[in-house]
Amino acid sequence: MDASQLAVLRTMYVFTPIEGQPWGLTYDSLKASLLERDPYEFIRIHEGGQPRASAVHYGITLDGEELEGYARVRPEGISILDSTAQAAADFVGWLREQVVPEGVAMTFNTAWGLEEDLPDTAVPDVTRPPLIAAFIAHLEATGLK
């Protein structure tokens, strides 16, 4: 696939803290941040008996497109499902403003990267166009044909 095809390709993007730099994510804080953006977004908190069994399933509207994702506090991370590189870049902007503490870095991977055992990659601290390019480069590295 060429870069233009990869730019519109949809996959799951997973964002996690860099080792040793937790975000302090809680379901309540995530819910508040989502509802602050849009009081009509859906949020379902699934709490299991084990801490690793709990998760939040949520909706988020980015640039007029309704997307869904999951978040967990153990292990800490948040994903956006069925996303393009552009939507993932917009999501990172929101994460940086509302979820990830200032000055704390994050990593990312995709469903295809996880399937290919690609390591998590640091999300570069750049503007939207180079961030989209980094996501497309990651997709290229998965060997998608």
Give the pLDDT of residue 120. Answer: 96
Give the pLDDT of residue 136. Answer: 95
Asked if the model's pLDDT at residue 43 lies above 90, the reply is yes
Burial (0-12, 13-18, 19+ Cβ within 10 Å), 9: middle
Give the pLDDT of residue 7. Answer: 87
Identify the residue whose tokens are 């730099």: 21
Q: Which of 49-53, 60-64, 135-139 shows the highest mean pLDDT?
A: 135-139
The model carries a pTM of 0.92
pLDDT in tens, 9-41: 999 999 999 998 999 999 999 999 999 998 988
Among the listed residues 71, 103, 67, the one whose alpha carbon sits nearest the alpha carbon of residue 83: 67
- What's the mean pLDDT in 94-104? 95
pLDDT above 70 covers a percentage of the chain that reads 95
Share the mean pLDDT of the chain: 92
pLDDT in tens, 76-94: 999 999 999 999 999 999 9
Domain 3-141 in this protein, CATH class: alpha beta
| CB neighbour list of residue 108: distance below 8 Å, 6 or more residues apart | 13, 14, 15, 16, 88, 92, 120, 121, 123, 135, 138
Give the pLDDT of residue 114. Answer: 95
